[in-house]
Amino acid sequence: MKFWEYLDVNYLSTIFKVGKVLLAISSDFSSNDYVNTITRIKGSVIKHIEFRKVIDAISECHNSTKIGCPNNLLLTGSSGSGKSALLTYYKNKYLERYNGDSVFPILYLKSPLHAKPRELAISLLEQMDVNYRNNLSLSSMTNKVVESITQLGIELIMLDDIEHLFDATSLRIHSDSVEWLRMLFDNLQVSVILSGLEVSNRLLLHNAAFASRVLSRVTLSPLDEDEYALFLQTIDSYLPFSEKSWLTEQAIEKLYLTTDGLPGYTKEIIIKATRLAFEEDRLTDWHIIKTCNLLSRSSQNSRNLDFVLLDDQELHTGQYRRKSKMEKFI
């Protein structure tokens, strides 16, 4: 018997009376459990081949600063591929064994939405907790950035979301920002990691001088099916349920097709589905499908979900039609 054949209609109705955003809240629900679960899921990484490739590249950049030969890196990948998670992982792991008395030597920040030179300079200063005057010229502010990085002993700069160097509407490159970064590279003896969507590769074609300062490039690819299964098993171990979840059973192949093997998008689905699943103390097929429905309806760029999408009537009755593509998975 499949799970939709024995779902209690009254139980479903109780869940869905709460409105558009549908939540099943257990009387034993612990907000601390949920918050702790979210924290662990968001911070989870799998040490697969792609992971090691990127971590090795980051480590090489960091070490090149220490020997006086800084090497800049461009890290690209699809949204949800785990770029930010890996940068944060490296920073946190280094922090665990850092025994220095000075400022922590890794500077991580996200590019501002409108990444013009002045905004980039301000973001760097604020991340270093350096005071500055708003009326400073760009030249003076840039000098302050360089001086502060040197004085604080920064060894590695991670600049994330560099797709913000493109205009959000026209997708034209902010040429002045690219040139400002090039000049910053020339004035620093510190390796810089630039991380962003795959469109960021266009920055190298746009400015040859900039490209010559970024000689290392690595792309973070989605997980393959075996790596994805391991990733889900790790996520399953973080879930606050007494029963083993559906994640380690038949969900793996369907979730893989739905998410294209992207860890970030998978985490988003699991986090929201976990909130729905507290009533049953177990994550099931139904919770995953319901979450995919909510995400697909709310997303402006919804994916071609391989899960069955349910209309409101089908959700209330616990009945739905299976697409032929799903039959081999259920």
Residue 238 has pLDDT above 60, yes or no: yes
- Mean predicted confidence (pLDDT) in 100-119: 90
Higher pLDDT, 121 or 321: 121
Bigger pLDDT: 211 vs 12: 211
pLDDT the model gives residue 18:
32
Percent of the chain with pLDDT over 90: 44
* Highest mean predicted confidence (pLDDT) among 228-237, 245-254, 318-327: 228-237
pLDDT of residue 248: 57
- Mean pLDDT (whole number) for 240-260: 75
* Residue 198 pLDDT grade (very low, low, confident, very high; cuts 50, 70, 90): very high
Confidence of residue 189 (pLDDT cuts 50, 70, 90): very high
pLDDT, average across residues 99-128: 91
Q: Which of 35-39, 92-96, 167-171, 234-238 has the lowest average pLDDT?
A: 35-39
pLDDT of amino acid 275: 83
**pTM (2 d.p.):** 0.75
User: Does the structure show a pLDDT above 60 at 86?
Assistant: yes
> Where is pLDDT greater, at 256 or 143?
143
Q: What is the mean pLDDT of the chain?
A: 79
Give domain limits for the chain: 3-46+223-326, 49-220
Higher-scoring residue by pLDDT: 22, 30 = 30
Q: Is the pLDDT of residue 302 over 70?
A: no
Residue 291 has pLDDT above 90, yes or no: no
Q: What is the pLDDT of residue 192?
A: 98
The rounded percent of the chain whose pLDDT value lies above 70 is 76
> If pLDDT is split at 50, 70 and 90, which confidence band does 243 have?
confident
Q: Give the CATH class of 49-220.
A: alpha beta
Tell me which amino acid residue 251 is.
A
Confidence of residue 47 (pLDDT cuts 50, 70, 90): confident
pLDDT value of residue 213: 96
Environment class of 17 (CB within 10 Å of its CB; exposed 0-12, middle 13-18, buried 19+): exposed
Give pLDDT, residue 16.
Answer: 32
pLDDT of residue 250: 62
Residue 60: phi, psi to the nearest 5?
Answer: -65, -40
